[in-house]
Amino acid sequence: MDVANGENNSLAVEVGRIAKLFALYMLKDVGDENAKVTRLNAVGFSNSEIAALLDKSENNISVQLSQARKKRKKKS
């Protein structure tokens, strides 16, 4: 591994940590699990990232997002 690849990898790890901290901070006052999932999705986290952050399965996250989209369609 050359120095440039090592630096890029370290940078990617640090950016990942910052993103996780941002996500946790963003959810600190949110009690509802569905709201947490939709909020994380709205700011660009993938289903797998959301699942890892909330200690849920990726399938569970997909179902929650699908139900949230259906609710939004009914309201409009």
Residue-wise pLDDT for 36-59, tens only, equals 999 999 988 999 999 999 999 999
Q: At 27, is the pLDDT very low, low, confident or very high (cuts 50, 70, 90)?
A: confident
pLDDT cut 90: percent of the chain above it: 42
Query: Taking the complete model, does pTM exceed 0.85, yes or no?
Result: no
Fold of 3-75: Arc Repressor Mutant, subunit A (1.10.10)
- In b/e form, how buried is each residue of 34-61, taking b as 16+ CB within 10 angstroms? eebbbbbbeeebebebbbebbebeeeeb
Residue 1 in this model has a pLDDT that exceeds 70: no
What is the average per-residue pLDDT within 15-35? Answer: 87
